[in-house]
Chain A
Amino acid sequence: MGLSTLQPPTKINLKGIVIFLLSWSFFVLIPIAGLLLWSFLTMENFRPVWDLSLQAYREVFASGRWEVTARTLGIASLVTLLEIVLALPFALWLSKGTKNMGLKITVLAALTIPFFLSLSARTIVWRALLGLHGPVNYALMATGVIDGPLDWLLFSQFSVILGLIGPYFPTMVFPLYLSINLIDDEMLAASTDLGATPGFTFWHVILPLAFPGLGAGIIFTFVPMIGDSVVPTLLGGGHVILLSASVESLLRILNYSVAAALSVVMLSIMVGVILVVSLVSTKIITSKSSALPEVTP
């Protein structure tokens, strides 16, 4: 309903569409077409050989690089899910739980400040904390919880997941905060007046209205995390291989065709994920808003 009012009343702006299409083809379509083409070529003596083959795709699967793709998607999905669980109540509190503007600004600034530090600098701290001789192990041993140091605290999937949570929290919180902030307080008051419990209001009023923010949050968090190279390198200790390291290793030996094939596989999955997310959110928004009048007590 909102969209239709935004559309220009009479004719389509032809100039705008041409400019968009031209720049989109130049910046998006050409690189992707190049990537696709590369993935069907083979390299010999640093030069592409111009007969098309599926060799690169076979190598993606033979060297187990698809496992890396699956692991990367798995970890990124898990961390995105954790971010939702952490960010939803936080965003709710920040936008509706407090009316103090000063506090809001301070909290938002506190979330932004870490971005001024490099990701490596923020991540390397975990190594000192979680190492065999680090304070966490020391505290656990001193209190008698464990007898010897836990080696899975560092250089494991655990440490990579832990390390990813911090840097990707703001990208989930900001869109959620903005969308929840836009919800009219009177709408919530009306829900309460009509006898809805806080839980009911959350599920049937807040969540559907916050869905665009959640969708944006998922994309802003999930997509860059797929390509993160800093956290898995520093905290995985070489045991948790994610996509970026795999591609980097290929580029280092100039194996462009396999790198391109791997990227094409990844790109297809990403387009799929984005399609599913947008389809599901559209569906939920429409079904929730149409279901709302019926469940009103």
Chain B
Amino acid sequence: MKTNETCKKLYSRRTVLKTGVAALAATAIAPCFPAKAFASKETVRIMGVSTCAIQDWSSFEKDTGLKMEFKGINSDPGLYVQEVVANEAGEDYDLFIFDGGIEDRLGASGHFSKIDTSALKMWNEVSDDVKSSPLLQGADGTQYGAPIVFNADSFGYNTDLVKDAEPLSWGTVFENEAFLGKVAIEDTWLTTLPNAALYLIGKGKKITDPANMTPEEVKMVVDFLIERKKAGQFRAFWHSYEESVDLLGNGEVAIEQCWEPVTKQLQREGKNIRYASAREGYSKWMIGAYVPSQAKGERLARAYKTIDWFLGGRYGALMAVQQGYATANPLASLKFASENGMSKEEIKAIEFNIQKVKEKMALPMYWQNSSPKHIKVIESEWQRFKQA
């Protein structure tokens, strides 16, 4: 019955979307076969960013009795929105896991359901400042997302060359006459513009929200960045994790706005690299789970069961040990680790994570926003900086 329903929906939406008769026939038939094939065991289908995936879902399947079908995607809001809006991915997937920010619009447009927190067993164990992140709530405060993974980003530096005492100012990256041409930044407006804004706020400039700047504020930040670019501050703009590891690791730059795992990896390679405590604040990101509005009944129940597992101890412990990232419920992770005989070192990694998150949360920061109000102006201004 469930299968028939899905197929009917597929027919109707694809009839509207696609005109090619052959394509219609092929796509309409294809999804029906796998649905029948795993009808015996309940499957939860997730479309999510690869960052939140674990290598082996067998523990999930054991804990929940659900089979996991995870489709990994990149953190590319354009592609994601296209999947959700134009291709109506909510018909095919029970849950989306993606970088927060876009729920303001996709929630308001009716593509995501409001999270029924009473249906989640673990919800009350999650601390309030985590679940009230603006990256999980709509502009009006509606809870559209559940927290999965998050972190607070700053910059890495070579301690052989940079001797300043911590905490360091973002000026180390953006306005550093001693290290002209020795700095790398990320090639995206998403993090670089708000980070520069944090620095300018520290210098007394008026910017209300670094992650949601007005056109005038963006222009001011970009004017500043252009000035620094012309002064020769930036050696390179990186585009990928590997590139950022390479630039800081081989000494092409001494300072780099980057993700924390970059410095972890270089430390393991024996390099004197440190992830800075930032004086003006951090760039925080949050990957949340969002329920598509098409998920109803049994599909909805599976989605909630899955979210509950993500909020539990096993996932948190795995993430802390494997990636060094924070999860919604670190105390449950610690409990899980000690009850399930994880090694002393792994428990230490989890404890370190709890401490780190506590310290960083206390500092001012902004939440990365992949869908700011003036996104077109921001992208356009960013291009102006790149071309300068």
Contact = CB atoms under 8 A, between A and B. Distances in A.
B235 A151 contact: yes
Nearest to A241: B386
B82 interface: yes
B384 interface: yes
Given A238-B187, A238-B236, A253-B375, A46 B250 contact: no
Interface stretch (A3-11, A189-197, A243-251): A243-251
A64 B252 contact: no
Most B CB contacts (10 A, CB to CB) among A131, A133, A254 go to A254
Contact of A132 (B237, B252, B387): B252
B384 A238 contact: no
B76 A252 contact: yes
A237 B105 contact: no
B270 interface: no
A255 B246 CA distance: 32
A65 B78 contact: no
Contacts of A254: 77-78, 81-82
A65 B380 CA distance: 9
Contacts of B380: 59, 62-63
B177 interface: no
A249 B85 contact: no
Interface string B78-91: 10011001100000
B376 A151 contact: no
Nearest to B82: A254
Interface string B348-388: 00000000000000000000000000011001111110110
A155 B239 contact: no
Nearest to A250: B379
B382 A238 contact: no
Nearest to A131: B252
B204 interface: no
B181 interface: yes
From A45, A46, A64, name the one whose CB has the most chain B CB atoms within 10 angstroms.
A46
A154 B246 CA distance: 14
A252 B81 CA distance: 10
Contacts of A131: 250, 252
A132 B251 contact: yes
A127 B235 CA distance: 13
A252 B77 contact: yes
Interface in B242-267: 246, 250-252
B59 interface: no
B383 A133 contact: no
A245 B251 CA distance: 26
A46 B250 CA distance: 42
Contacts of B237: 237-239
20 contacts: A59-B376, A63-B383, A64-B384, A68-B383, A68-B387, A127-B246, A131-B252, A132-B251, A133-B252, A154-B252, A155-B235, A238-B187, A238-B237, A241-B386, A249-B382, A252-B77, A253-B77, A253-B375, A253-B376, A255-B379
Interface of A: 45-47, 59, 62-65, 67-68, 127, 131-133, 151, 154-155, 233, 237-239, 241, 245-246, 249-255, 258
Please name the 8 residue pairs, one residue from A and one from B, whose CB atoms are nearest each other, closest first.
A238-B237, A237-B236, A63-B380, A252-B78, A64-B387, A254-B78, A238-B187, A241-B386
